[in-house]
Amino acid sequence: MFTGIVSDVGRVRSIEKRGDTRFVIDTAYEPEGIALGASIACSGCCLTVVERGTEKGQNWFAVDASNETLGCTVLGDWKVGTPINLERALKAGDELGGHIVSGHVDGVGEIIDIRPDGDSKRFIFEAPEGLGQFIAAKGSVTIDGTSLTVNEVEDVKEGANAGVTRFGVNIIPHTQAVTTWGQARIGQRINLEIDMLARYVARLAKKE
């Protein structure tokens, strides 16, 4: 489990195509503190550490991603040098600064607009069809591993994008500086995880 509070921005060091795809990620995390088999959220996707070490003063860890993971997330878009939001798994007694995050990506969305809003930036995202029912104004959502609060929601009912949901969030300067959001661009695909409570409330509502 995670909280959506990013604790490091790593970068893809190398990509190796095997039966699965192995990503080696540069990080500030000390390798001695990362157990083999540990879970790390990589831009919102929970992945298992299979190697770790230090080379020329740079710490790194490696993870394997299956074809299923590549197809259901934005990991297939990663290239050498891609920045990645990182978060270590939650431990008992840790502060819950964001919200409960599983690291299981529900769908791939897209940034469709970025504009200034005071000192912050207002991001408008498009969620894939089927996920809009789980997104609500003032609710929580996890995007690329970051816990964010939804400002407004619009369900598109007409045109080529009918059936998708658009929603906005504000990202403050601090968050832009300590995550990948300061480098985000319009048209970029994003990993989207809906709020866990919304998932179960919707499931229970269907049974009534």
pTM score, whole prediction: 0.91
Q: Is 82 in the same domain as 138?
A: no
Report if residue 94 sits inside a domain.
Answer: no
Q: Tens digits of per-residue pLDDT, 33-79?
A: 999 999 999 999 999 999 999 999 999 999 999 999 999 999 999 99
Q: Is 140 in the same domain as 112?
A: yes
Provide the domain limits for residue 43: 8-88
With residues binned 3-state (H G I as helix, E B as strand, rest as coil), the percentages for the chain, rounded to 5, are 20, 45, 40
Report if residue 101 sits inside a domain.
Answer: no
* Residue 30 predicted with pLDDT over 90: yes
Contacts for 161 with CB less than 8 Å, ≥ 6 apart: 126
- Residue 44 zone, left/alpha/beta (φ > 0; ψ -120 to 50; rest): left
* Residue 163 predicted with pLDDT over 70: yes
Query: How many residues are listed for the chain in this entry?
Result: 208
- The domain total for the chain is 2
Q: Is 120 in the same domain as 60?
A: no
Structure tokens at 18: 């095997």
Report if residue 159 sits inside a domain.
Answer: yes
Contacts for 76 with CB less than 8 Å, ≥ 6 apart: 70
Q: How confident is the model at residue 206 (pLDDT cuts 50, 70, 90)?
A: low
Tell me which residue has tokens 């959220």.
41
Indicate the residue among 39, 56, 88 that finishes a domain: 88
Burial of residue 37, with CB atoms counted within 10 A of its CB: 0-12 exposed, 13-18 middle, 19 or more buried: exposed
Report if residue 3 sits inside a domain.
Answer: no
**The CATH number of the domain where 145 resides is what?**
2.40.30.20
Indicate the residue among 88, 122, 140 that finishes a domain: 88
Contacts for 91 with CB less than 8 Å, ≥ 6 apart: none
Q: Is 16 in the same domain as 70?
A: yes
Burial of residue 36, with CB atoms counted within 10 A of its CB: 0-12 exposed, 13-18 middle, 19 or more buried: exposed
Q: Is 112 in the same domain as 203?
A: yes
